[in-house]
Structure 1
């Protein structure tokens, strides 16, 4: 009796090296919503789709500038000078430069982190900086109002940062189960991946079909000279193509049954206009900006309707409401450092999305309605007396 059995052939080893993506932004296809991974994903979306990047920059620009009004005019003038000249890092100055970087992180990542840097002696604010949200974590406390901002220490371990009162943290539309907020770009990675596949396919098709390739077929008619004739035709065809590259014109003459066709000319080219527009419509709807402001000519007119202006004004007002507490903290701390006890009010620049003629016409209609109301009230009063 044999104490061993013949072994079968060994199983094939699994593939270890695999393709990471079909287009340069392969991260979009493997979307997994992790906290730190989300930020890299959303930045890849902005880099891959210029419309998304342009929409976020337009929202930042339309948010406008900010000032502060105080009951003490001396304090107000000094506060305005501080808001105009405070260093914001990376060669930027002013509170508006800080808010642009802060809002960019808020819209892209769903949260923003900043820091108030006091000067020596704690009698002034030396700078107001925004930071990388990937470098911090939020630890919630025992109640919904308590949370601690944590960052890496010298050993690289995450721990509470020492001066919590000098840190600025703002989440965008936070959910009940997470304090990190929700990015404006949530929901776009799936659509962006489809859009990148379409663009990548268009590029590959142009790369293949733009450089035309010919198929030359020679039928010898059964005389057994196909090999000689094919070599002769190949040589003549090659010389004709080389002369064409140099700018000269050379005719190709062949004897017999010769068929010349363009390879791939009969294959239909998929129409990408409809699917690309459907995806871009979803992107534009997510940002809330009219299409023509992003360079998309979908309508016959190029003027913004009053409904679109009202909706965009509402979006900008909501963004300002989110940023107002941050500006108030900075201004209040500066006033207290300089010994001012007066209150303050954050004031934003007026949102102007309509033509001046339309504004004037609307004001005229309001005054006419007011005049008629006064005349009717006077007439009713005269009748009663």
Structure 2
């Protein structure tokens, strides 16, 4: 449905709109009829901030199992212990997942394949804002906060799709919501000409932490919109979810203390508490239906980043899709996707 909201895109990308939405709008309550009995939920980045509060919100709906995907199992178990004290009935499991490691993503999904009959709801929440250019140790040529985080998110999405599909005993569609950010709404991608689009981000001399973070989120939305064109929403509903500015998270923990003070001061004015912002995840993954497939959402469906309505944006989305599948060929994602269709 975001595809039909082009007229709203320019305004929704403005600071005025987002300030107004942050300050004067309230995240609605989850409808009383919503429940998760006998269902399995996965939330990544689940031991702190928005991820932790999202798990708490999901647990209130009495699922059979909630999996907390975390980078540190020790910290994850400490967070899970708090939640087990509040919700003794549902099973809560802590699984290791490092979104800066393709090997970790593959190991995580292999475990899901072995141990789970089905996943019903997946919220990919893990993310971190970095101001410093970094490379991963796995031999790739991408800085961690842009391509690797984007590619790991895409890889995890692809590899979890089979577990999200309906089964004979559970016929309703799976739900995949990928957390995004309004930082990308007014951005556009630079056409690299004959060069690869992904490679055009791998330039230390041009690295801009906040700007590149927004561009990485634009890549995610372009990916989701393309994926939604080939995935039947009666099998898996996939969308992006934007919690908006939120205070009380550790998202900017890697910035220097001076910038950290400025960020915290700004968020104290417009930021929502995590308990409210995390409720948006439930709206996107439970309350909104097939109409949200391939869309940008919070508690309603909103316009895509405005560049996605342009001819150049659509062409770059196609290039991004092809390059992404090529980049992830080591995991056989193209073959697995074709088999799943």
Q: TM-score range by the shorter chain?
A: under 0.3
User: What is the TM-score with the length of structure 1 in the denominator?
Assistant: 0.21
Instruction: Name which one, 1 or 2, has greater alpha-carbon Rg.
Output: 1
